[in-house]
């Protein structure tokens, strides 16, 4: 007797997956993904029409964002009590999640799934920098996998110098500033509908080198910046290669680390903005003796002040209309 094939998803279950994907972090909150459900296979598609020519000319951050969404998708499938296999691909479909038989989720996966709704970008101060060693180890371990390294940067003076330089350049870059303005959302809160970075996230309380730089953003000098970085917990997400698959895997790793931090009552934010400046990534590799290509910097700690959630597009927009991508 042959075993019955795994059951297809119900519309309620598809809704659970879509909600989890929608809460993933994404560059400028652009939410550059769609879902295609085919029985027991779920494709995550990259929306290449969502382009940030100044911030993300190569689309690397768009793939990192899709990688984070894939991590959420996998956790949601497991939380529904189904086994699954995730295969990264190299076309508009960036990953296919093949849903298998019923399987109780591990306590760890379930805790990460529950953290999906609580995670948000915290671009503000942290309470203090004492994150217990065991917590730090868990955050790093959640992200590390073959070809991915989460590294504590050693030379904070060098890092401050490079971040300060990038911030000053971007502050004066009018094309970059125009794009950021276009992607500034004037809505915020749990119920807010849309895309873009909320105005709140760019307010003066947001730390200059923790967030996105506007023309009026003050930049501290390198000494102050070094001290500020020393009061945070920082991880540089590095990959062995720099291919599309590396970018996807880095995004998924970042998200697992971020959700692990969230599950442990920590908050964080991610920085990629400076890494797009010509030559900056290779300077980081040499000055910080990194073991791979830097894809993102994750800062985390206990929150000194709360941060508001950002808006999301209606879930219906996540499903391509018949006939193809939007």
- Binding positions for ligand FMN, rule: CB under 6 A: 25-29, 61, 64-65, 68, 120-121, 123, 197, 211-212, 269-273, 309-310
Supply the minimum distance, in Å, between the C-beta of residue 64 and ligand FMN. Answer: 4
- Annotate 228-263 with DSSP letters as a single string: HHHTSEEEEEEESS-SHHHHHHHHHHHHHHHHHHHH
Of residues 82 and 312, the one with the C-beta less far from ligand FMN: 312
Answer left, alpha or beta for residue 147, where phi above 0 means left and psi between -120 and 50 means alpha.
left
| CA–CA distance, 262 with 22 (Å, rounded to integer) | 17
Supply the minimum distance, in Å, between the C-beta of residue 212 and ligand FMN. Answer: 5
Of residues 28 and 264, the one with the C-beta less far from ligand FMN: 28
For residue 129, the Cα-to-chain-centroid distance in whole angstroms is 22
- DSSP state at residue 216: T
Of residues 34 and 121, the one with the C-beta less far from ligand FMN: 121
Of residues 82 and 119, the one with the C-beta less far from ligand FMN: 119
For 189, the token pair is 């809160």
Supply the minimum distance, in Å, between the C-beta of residue 254 and ligand FMN. Answer: 7
Of residues 99 and 254, the one with the C-beta less far from ligand FMN: 254
Of residues 13 and 273, the one with the C-beta less far from ligand FMN: 273
Supply the minimum distance, in Å, between the C-beta of residue 210 and ligand FMN. Answer: 7
Supply the minimum distance, in Å, between the C-beta of residue 241 and ligand FMN. Answer: 17
For 132, the token pair is 């217990």
- Annotate 269-310 with DSSP letters as a single string: EEE-GGGGSTTHHHHHHHHHT-SSEEEEEEEEE-BSS-----
For 166, the token pair is 């990038």
For residue 109, the Cα-to-chain-centroid distance in whole angstroms is 18
Supply the minimum distance, in Å, between the C-beta of residue 125 and ligand FMN. Answer: 14
For 79, the token pair is 């939380």
Checking DSSP bridges between strand 93-102 and strand 41-46, what pairing results, if any?
antiparallel
| CA–CA distance, 166 with 146 (Å, rounded to integer) | 30
The three-state secondary structure class of 149 is strand
Of residues 85 and 178, the one with the C-beta less far from ligand FMN: 178
């Amino acid at each position: 007797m042959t075993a019955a094939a795994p059951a297809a998803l119900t519309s309620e279950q598809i809704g659970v997956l879509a909600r989890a994907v929608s809460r993933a972090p994404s560059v400028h909150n652009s939410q550059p993904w769609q879902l295609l459900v085919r029985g027991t296979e779920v494709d995550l598609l990259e929306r290449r029409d969502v382009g940030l020519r100044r911030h993300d000319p190569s689309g690397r951050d768009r793939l990192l964002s899709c990688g984070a969404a894939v991590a959420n998708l996998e956790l949601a499938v497991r939380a529904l009590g189904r086994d699954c296999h995730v295969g990264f691909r190299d076309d508009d479909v960036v990953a296919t999640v093949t849903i298998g038989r019923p399987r109780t989720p591990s306590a760890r996966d379930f805790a990460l799934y529950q953290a999906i709704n609580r995670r948000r970008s915290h671009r503000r101060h942290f309470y203090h920098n004492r994150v217990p060693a065991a917590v730090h180890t868990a955050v790093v371990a959640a992200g590390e996998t073959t070809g991915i390294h989460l590294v504590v940067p050693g030379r904070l003076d060098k890092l401050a110098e490079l971040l300060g330089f990038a911030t000053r350049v971007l502050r004066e870059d009018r094309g970059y500033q125009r794009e950021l303005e276009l992607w500034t959302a004037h809505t915020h809160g749990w119920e807010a509908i849309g895309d873009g970075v909320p105005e709140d996230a760019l307010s003066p309380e947001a730390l200059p080198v923790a967030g996105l730089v506007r023309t009026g953003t003050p930049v501290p000098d390198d000494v102050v910046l070094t001290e500020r970085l020393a009061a945070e917990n920082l991880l540089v997400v590095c990959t062995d290669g720099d291919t599309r698959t590396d970018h996807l895997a880095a995004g998924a790793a970042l998200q697992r680390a971020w959700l692990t931090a969230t599950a442990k009552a920590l908050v964080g934010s991610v920085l990629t903005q400076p890494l797009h400046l010509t030559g900056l990534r290779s300077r980081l590799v040499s000055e910080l003796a990194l073991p791979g290509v830097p894809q993102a910097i994750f800062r985390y700690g206990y929150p000194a002040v709360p941060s508001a959630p950002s808006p999301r597009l209606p879930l219906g927009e996540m499903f391509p209309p018949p006939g193809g991508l939007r």
